[in-house]
A and B are shown apart, each in its own frame.
Chain A
């Protein structure tokens, strides 16, 4: 398999999530996707055409543009994805020498750039098509945080707070959750909060490509099966994050230890999309499986800290940028350890 083929396969892996996003959010989402990819391609051409010739066929710029778009809220003004992609390609990628030389992931660079530049615009979430308030803006993350902090210490789950704040869950969710609660969970003395079904199938407000985690994972399964990415980094990333949010996630709202509800945290936000499509980017992740595994754990910790204590709307992208800075150090550290082992064996 060639490098270009790997990049195009990665874009193909984004397709299920992108299709779902277009279905959910309609023409505004399509416009974001087109503008973002066009901006990435134009910037790539502008820089590489005079010096290296036509490089769009390597698939890398297309992938960057697509990933930037899928991490944008659907209602964002179009100049935001355009600037984000341009920043990713021009500053993060090409100033360091283009494909293979950049030490940060271009798409994550662009996304974090927009989160820092337009924090308000980047959290304008639209309710998905098919829900009661289709197209309308729904309470942004800050309102949710405030509501969470204000409500009492008992029985607070993020979804419960959302429901009380008047978030429009779908009728399908009511019947599905109701059926599961009465037929499956009632005998066990448990119950799922309203909204569980919506958030599982991705029928919620969110970034264009990140709402439906099962479809993101299905696309990632293609990459894993074809050997485009290896499992070590995403699995240890998500595993560490899930563990930390389970253990410590409930502390902030007074629910105590081991009450964090990792399901909600894995199923919301850009985390899973970033864990499979940005973190394992070969250029900016370590060279060996041991290094990838170590970076996965580090990213899990960083994302947990940024999500629970940070001010950004999404922790995954920023955590990956920090992880990108660490991965050359991991490579070097493992290389040194290996040569010490070899010296011992030779002696």
Chain B
């Protein structure tokens, strides 16, 4: 069954200037000669490095052990020799250890058929352990450890939403996975159902993937999984998990412990972890931008240099003025192309000089566009003024903690005021002070 549910409120239509991936295919990226694998690719504490310089590692070998439950395992994405272990700075500004592996030796797993391990007789603890051991985290950008998200008392979950919406305009990795890996994703849904016993299961897809619905429904039927396919609008930021759940339940978005949304890329990784016993060592990401000649969805090994992927897609360095990791709306600008792809890297977008030029900020004319587009029903211009006046606590009272920095307000503002960035800074300050501006994960 298919229906279209509207975004409860707000959002913007995706900017049309940016090209998405050229087609829906997933292309295998070239293997990195040297993979740089950070120990912090997730929300929580960095993993503890278990190898030392000179060690020989095999593909998929554990090289970083989760430091307690609020952490995630890290594996070698390529076979080879540990050339160095250094401290690096990630795109987020956080610092952590990173293992440099020089490619070498043979691939014991890649390209070889793998037998499916039975899982249906396993209990929740064993399933969660397989997911945890494989280092699976949320691949929709949140990078929250999946074994924590799914560890719940069965029966407390009323809605399981498999989120097949790419979370930003011009990213297409989730769409591509739905096209190529539907049976695996559906089996991932099945695993979630075994863990959560949800009241209702929905596979939510974007209007951009609407042509897939009959095929997805067939796969779901063949697998005997009780789930429904729902098409949601292609507006940004509809792919945010709170908005997916809000649209499916027909109510305003809010933090809601009774519903669980899992990204389809995460479901695919769960399938590989539980059924194939394969740790998370690669991910699909979109490499695009106006200065990129051949935008593609690439399947890249974790630790691949960002610059190598851009080069593979034909980026023109002379015309490129700015590169962001993530998507065009929320991406983080990087100052070095030597950064590695991590579990949280949704995409790489290159901008030309004209696009990257910072617009001139002018006076707020109180037009209310920011209020119009805010999906969380905030009043960004008022919050902005409160923060600028130094009244973070009043801003927190007026809902600042709900801001997810989706960027709709900044995008819609005719005076080009950096509302989203200022609100984000204010929210982090307010939550550090502990007066109600909690993080919205």
A residues adjacent to B (C-beta < 8 A): 1-6, 58, 98-101, 282-284, 286-289, 335, 338-339, 342, 345-346
Contact = CB atoms under 8 A, between A and B. Distances in A.
B371 A287 contact: yes
B362 interface: yes
A101 B363 contact: yes
A90 to B, nearest CB: 17
A287 B252 contact: no
Interface of B: 252, 254, 359, 362-368, 371-372, 377, 379, 381-382, 398-399, 414-416
> 6 closest Cβ contacts across the A-B interface?
A100-B363, A287-B368, A282-B367, A3-B414, A99-B363, A3-B415
26 contacts: A2-B359, A2-B362, A2-B416, A3-B363, A4-B362, A5-B414, A6-B367, A6-B414, A58-B362, A58-B363, A98-B363, A99-B362, A99-B363, A99-B365, A100-B365, A100-B415, A283-B365, A287-B366, A289-B372, A335-B379, A335-B382, A338-B377, A339-B398, A339-B399, A342-B377, A345-B252
Given A101-B363, A282-B366, A287-B381, A1 B371 contact: no
B368 A288 contact: yes
Nearest to B415: A3
Contacts of B415: 2-3, 100
Given A282-B366, A287-B371, A342-B399, A2 B414 contact: yes
Most A-side CB within 10 Å, residue of B254, B364, B367, B371: B367
B253 to A, nearest CB: 11
Contacts of B359: 2
Contacts of B414: 1-3, 5-6
B254 A3 contact: no
A86 B366 CA distance: 23
Given A2-B416, A6-B365, 10 more contacts: A2-B359, A2-B415, A3-B362, A6-B414, A100-B366, A284-B366, A287-B368, A288-B371, A335-B379, A342-B399
B419 to A, nearest CB: 13
B95 to A, nearest CB: 38
Contacts of B379: 287, 335
Contacts of A101: 363
Contacts of B372: 289
B398 A3 contact: no
Centre residue among B365, B371, B381, B382 by max chain A CB count within 10 A: B365
Contacts of B416: 2
- Counting chain B CB atoms within 10 Å of each CB, the highest count among A2, A284, A286, A346 belongs to A2
Contacts of B367: 3, 6, 282
A283 B377 contact: no
Nearest to B382: A335
Nearest to B379: A335
Contacts of A282: 365-368
Contacts of A4: 362
Nearest to A335: B379
A286 B366 CA distance: 8
A346 B381 CA distance: 24
B42 to A, nearest CB: 30
Contacts of B254: 345-346
A346 B255 CA distance: 10
B366 A283 contact: yes
A287 B377 CA distance: 13
B252 to A, nearest CB: 7
A327 to B, nearest CB: 9
Contacts of A3: 362-363, 365, 367, 414-415
A99 B417 CA distance: 14
A99 B377 CA distance: 26
Contacts of A284: 366
Contacts of A287: 366, 368, 371, 379, 381
A190 to B, nearest CB: 44
Contacts of A288: 368, 371
A2 B411 CA distance: 11
Residue picked from A4, A98, A100, A342, most chain B C-beta under 10 Å = A100
